[in-house]
Amino acid sequence: MDTTARPFIFLLSAIQLALFLSAFSLLRADPSLPRPDATLFKKPYIRLEKVAGQLDMKYQLSKDNQEGVLYSRWTRVRFKKDSRLLLLNNYKIYLGYAVALHSGQLYLSTQDYHKTVKPLLTPQVFTGNRKLRTIVIDPGHGGKNPGCINKSLGMLEKDFTLDLAFRLKTLLERRGYRVFLTRESDRTVENQNRAFFANKVKADLFVCLHFNSVQSRSVKGIETYTFTPRNQPSTARSRLIDEDKKLFPPNAHDAWSTLVGFYVQRQLIKTMGWVDRGLKRARFSMMIDLQCPGILVEGGFFSNYEEARRIKTISQRIQLAEAIANGILTYHETLNRITNPN
Ligand SMILES: [Zn+2]
pLDDT computed for residue 128 by the predictor:
65
Q: Please report the DSSP string for 251-274 in residue order.
A: GGGHHHHHHHHHHHHHHHHHHH--
pLDDT at 14 over 80: no
* pLDDT grade for 333, boundaries at 50, 70 and 90: very high
Q: How far is the CA of 30 from the centre of ligand 1 (A)?
A: 39
Tell me the HSE value of 303 on the side-chain side, using a 13 A CA sphere.
14
- Mean pLDDT for the chain? 92
Ligand 1 centroid–CA 90 distance in Å is 27
- Please determine, for residue 338, whether its predicted confidence score (pLDDT) is greater than 80: yes
Instruction: Provide the strand spans (E) within 147-304.
Output: 149-150, 155-156, 178-181, 205-212, 222-227, 276-282, 294-301
Centre of ligand 1 from the C-alpha of residue 157, in Å = 7
Which DSSP symbol is given to 116?
I
Please give the average per-residue pLDDT across 161-170, as a whole number.
98
Q: Could you say which DSSP state residue 81 is in?
A: B
Contact 265, 241 (CB under 8 A): no
Q: Are 242 and 230 in contact (CB under 8 A)?
A: no
| 242-264 average pLDDT score | 96
Q: Report pLDDT for 5.
A: 45
Interval between CA 285 and ligand 1 midpoint (Å): 12
Confidence of residue 8 (pLDDT cuts 50, 70, 90): very low
Could you report the per-residue pLDDT of 86-137, keeping only the tens digit for each?
999 999 999 999 999 999 999 999 999 999 999 999 999 987 658 999 999 9
Q: 36: CA distance to ligand 1 center in Å? A: 39
How many CA atoms, within 13 angstroms, populate the side-chain half-sphere of residue 3? Answer: 4
Task: Using the mean position of ligand 1's atoms as its centre, give its distance from the Cα of residue 238 in Å.
Answer: 23
Instruction: Tell me the CA–centroid distance for residue 212 and ligand 1, in Å.
Output: 6
272 CA to centre of ligand 1 in angstroms: 20
Q: Kindly tell me if the per-residue pLDDT of 11 is higher than 60.
A: no
Q: Cβ–Cβ contacts within 10 Å for residue 307, how many?
A: 25
Ligand 1 centre and the CA of 102: distance in Å?
A: 40
Its pTM stands at 0.90
Please report which confidence band the pLDDT of residue 340 belongs to, taking 50, 70 and 90 as the band edges: confident
Q: How far is the CA of 225 from the centre of ligand 1 (A)?
A: 12
Residues across the chain: 342
- Please give the domain boundaries of the chain with CATH numbers for all domains: 3-121 (3.30.457.10), 134-339 (3.40.630.40)
Average of per-residue pLDDT across 30-41: 77
Q: What's the pLDDT at 16?
A: 54
Q: Which residues of 112-142 are buried (b: 16+ CB within 10 A; e: fewer)?
A: bbbbbbbbbbbbbbbeebeebebbbbbbbbb
